[in-house]
Structure 1
Amino acid sequence: MKYFPVFIDAEHTNCLIVGAGEVAARKLELVLKTPAKITVVAPWVSDTVAKLSRLENVTLHEREFVEDDLNGKTLVFVATDKQSINQHIHDMAHSKGILVNVVDNTPLCKFITPSIVDRSPIIIAMSSGGVAPVLLRYIRQKLETVLPHKISLLGDFSERFRDKVKTALSSVTDRRYFWEDVLDGDIGENVLQGQQTKAELQLDIALQKYQNGDKPAGQVYLVGAGPGDPDLLTFRALRLMQKADVVVYDRLVSPDILELVRRDAEKIYVGKAKSNHTIPQEEINELLAKLALEGNRVVRLKGGDPFIFGRGGEEIQTLIEHGVDFQVVPGITAATGAASYAGIPLTHRDHAQSVTFTTGHLRDNSIDLNWRALAQPSQTLVFYMGLTGLPIICRELIAHGLAPSTEIALVENATRANQKVLTGTLENILKNSLTKDIKPPTLIIVGGVVSLHKQLNWFTAQEA
């Protein structure tokens, strides 16, 4: 972030606006939404500024700017039409350590004013760093339509009972759970509907229950993070990621997806790579149970789908043994993500009437699979974790009946910006010098559908 977002206590802010045209008027109108004391200095005053200057917290000086105008100021907006004056005031303010904004001149801004969605006391401020104002306006319009106007009532309600809840519940985690239950449930709904008295009674009852220890137990959510593109997360996955106290994640979860996890959640890496298991699976199972039994909301974040080569079933069995409640949130598995983003339909009337997902994971330098069942015409094969065993896969499929000319695709980092796709045949893919540059995570797709890649490939990515 080039600009660090902060909210300033406007009640103790003295703001100076130099200039009094329509541009300055827009800044004046914005600051007037706060209790800040405002001074406007300009030799000429527009009708809008003249009208607004009659308000109690605005002082207008109809004259040229002088250096003493900066005394005691904490924020300065400069909105004159003379570049030399703008530069001069910027330099003086900066030398005094005062935050200064020269309107429509980003290089001369020590702070910038964000685009604001105002549901006071709930304020959403957004910025593009001055580089994409139209996009920012578009986002703001979207948010305005999504956020209910009465959400301000929830803000007022939370403020009114904040100290009472803080006194009753000493644990930060307990308070967060309590407020989530309040805002997500009937109490929050009654506040939005204007049923304040009813909501207050319900809150008192709920708070008493929490104090008596009658609060939700820890829980584990097995969440499929999909193949890598954060836009492919489900709404439910994102909601639970934002509620988690602890996130246990694996190697296939992309950094972009991790960015969407709640900021203050504890993050525990348990990823596995070839011949390098950070934590054995049995210990991961026990870790999930332990964290939940301590009262945490635990998200087990897995690349792809938890139930497709994700060992989600093993983890659930351990949770059941320990009496831990759990939920499973499906994700887009790597096979469908890789195929879709590579323009390779897994089934097609002219090429494949079935699809088989299997693992190409090496064990004792071999892959123990039913090769005869796999080497069938008119089906698509998808191998997970098969890159190291690629020579064995090609050899065995040919040996058990597939034509050497059967097409094959290697899809690296599926759905991500750095996705690579390399195609060939069972007999020549290993001879391609580019094959050695393909790295995990990579999906292997075998079958006639691969021939459609060049025609149907829609995703702008790297061709290996």
Structure 2
Amino acid sequence: MSLYPIFADLSGRRVLVVGAGSVGARKIEALLAAGARVVVGAPRLGEHVAARVRDGSVTHLDGEFSPDWIDGAWLVIAATRDTRVNRAVAEAAEARGVFANVVDDAALCSFQVPAVIDRGPLVVAVSTGGTAPVLARLVRERLEALLDGSVATLATLASRWRERIRARLPNLGARRRFLEEVFTGDVAALARAARPDDAEQALAAALARADDRPRGRVTLVGAGPGDAGLLTLAGLRALHEADVILHDSLVSDDVLALARRDADRIAVGKRGGGGHTPQEHIHALLLEHARAGRRVVRLKGGDPFVFGRGGEELEFLRDHDIDYAVIPGITAALACAAHAGIPLTHRDHAQSVRFVTAHCRESLDTLDWNALAQERQTLAVYMGVATLDVLRDRLLAHGRDAATPFALIENGTRHDQRVVTGTLATLVESAQAHSVRSPALLVLGEVAALADRLHWFGTPPLQAPPVLPRALRAA
């Protein structure tokens, strides 16, 4: 975020507009609507601005721009066609510590005027920092279609009932949930039906039966593999409603940025070779915050039920009588393979797919290697970077062809995704040569060969190095 968004109270405050043509006139009207005391400086006045000066709503400073015009102003807008004058206005404002906007010249601006959706008292502002005002306008038009006139009715009701709601529901969590129900339930439906009196009666009835002791709950949410665009709509809604978010280290910053701004965020990362939060501590946090009446989101990379220990956490919550829900996510195997151009199943190459976790050597001892070594199937191996040598050796020992293709997908779906391809025989050497690091998913099987031809996202796959692997040298 390059600009800090702010809504300014300009009521009764002096604002200078330099320039009195059509652009200046539009700026003056918006400022007057906000209650500003507008002063316009210009040697000539357009017809609309001249009318405003005559009716006394705008003060006119006649002549060429002078820096002392800015004295006492809270904001300055330069709206002339003369770039020299606009620059002089911006420099004079900067010298006096006054925010200035120069129309259509972002480089000279110290503040931007956004595209606005006005559903008073609700106001939505859209800005691109002055770099793409047409895009901001198009976004505003889309939002205009979503926010019908009933939003203004709801905002007015919320304002009028604010103190009564706070008195009835002093608990912040209970109050927030009540208002969310008001804005999405029967009260909102009556407002949309243009029945404001009935909407207010429904709000009063709902408040009378509201409970100030909310029961907490936990929602397990799959964050997907990293690309925020792959988060589900249900997951996004849960993040917007959360009071507390317990998130894994593999959850991307882009996904976390979608969460409600005032939600408490607690990192409970588990990453091989790095910091580790014991599962018992995570359980304790879930219990503490849920019992305090909070809505807790347990945000997991990928999907909670695919090597995410979601089942263990649900068992714990059930044993402690905590309400819970699960919102699945796009698991890494599906998303990373898709972004690498690899179909996990293919009529000509693989009729089945197996998900395998290989985060430690002890876990590998529990796997059915005879089954894993079968041909015409795809292995999607999670958390296997540290045990690639064991994976290769055991698969070869149980009959898997050394020429079986593989693809290592590092940071799948993210802007820095890398894909390394080769054959099982060169798996370890390829990973070492290209310094593959976690998080990385291994896809092994005939379908992996399609990565070289079908890739579409990021840079093309990196090929295996032309070295004789240890496995073949020892053969």
Q: TM-score range by the shorter chain?
A: over 0.9
The 1:55–1:253 alpha-carbon spacing in structure 2 relative to 1, beyond 3 Å, is farther
Measured in 1, the distance between the counterparts of 2:20 and 2:257 equals: 43
Match of 1:33, as an amino acid?
A
Return the offset for 1:139.
Answer: 1.9
Q: Deviations over 1:254-292 (max 9, x none)?
A: 111111111111111111122556321133123212211
Deviates more, 1:110-119 or 1:350-359: 110-119
Shift of 1:182: 1.6
Partner of 1:102: 102
Who is 2:19 aligned against?
19
1:367–1:392: 8 Å Cα contact kept in structure 2? no
* Residue 454 of structure 2: aligned partner: 456
Q: Give the CA deviation at 1:63.
A: 3.5
Structure 1 position 406, deviation (Å): 0.3
CA distance in 2, matches of 1:406, 1:304: 27
Cα separation, partners in 2 of 1:109 and 1:429, compared to 1, 3 Å: same
Aligned to 2:383: 385
1:275–1:368 distance in 2 versus 1, CA, 3 Å: farther
**Partner of 1:186 in structure 2?**
186
Asked if residue 218 in structure 1 is aligned to residue 201 in structure 2, the reply is no
The letter for the 2-side match of 1:237 is G
* Inter-partner Cα distance in structure 1 for 2:326 and 2:431: 42
Using the TM superposition, name which of 330-339 and 451-460 deviates more.
451-460
Deviations 1:82-112 (A, max 9, x none): 3333333333333332222222222322211
- Cα 1:14–1:358 change in 2 (3 A) is same
More off after superposition, 434-443 vs 216-225: 434-443
Alignment of 1:318-397 (within 5 A): 318-364=316-362, 366-397=364-395
Deviation of 1:120 after TM superposition, in Å, equals: 1.7
| Range with bigger deviation, 102-111 or 443-452 | 102-111
Summarize the Cα distance change of 1:436–1:63 in structure 2 as closer, same or farther, 3 Å threshold. closer
**2-structure distance, mates of 1:267, 1:117:** 31
TM-score, length-scaled by structure 2: 0.92
- Which residue is equivalent to 1:406? 404
Q: Is 1:80–2:80 an aligned residue pair?
A: yes
- Secondary structure of the residue that 1:428 maps to in structure 2? helix
Alignment of 1:34 with 2:34, yes or no, is yes
- Tell me the equivalent position of 1:146: 146
1:301 pairs with 2:293: no
What's the RMSD between the two structures over aligned residues? 2.0
Deviations 1:394-423 (A, max 9, x none): 111111121100001100111000111001
The count of aligned residue pairs is 462
**Could you say what secondary structure the match of 2:97 adopts?**
coil
Give the AA of the match of 1:159.
S
Deviation per CA, 1:105-158: give whole Å up to 9, x if none.
Answer: 223222111111222211111211121223222322222222223211111111
Deviations 1:38-60 (A, max 9, x none): 12221212233334445553233
Verify: 1:206 aligned to 2:218, yes or no: no
Task: Report sequence identity in percent.
Answer: 44
Aligned to 1:268, what secondary structure does the other structure show? strand
Distance 1:54 1:398 in 2: 91
Runs (5+) with no aligned partner, structure 1: none
- The alpha-carbon distance between structure 1 residues 67 and 456, as it changes in their structure 2 partners (threshold 3 A), is closer
What is residue 243 of structure 1 aligned with on the other side?
241
Query: In structure 2, what is the Cα distance between the partners aligned to 1:218 and 1:33?
Result: 43
Query: TM-score when scaled to structure 1?
Result: 0.94
Match of 2:5 in 1: 5
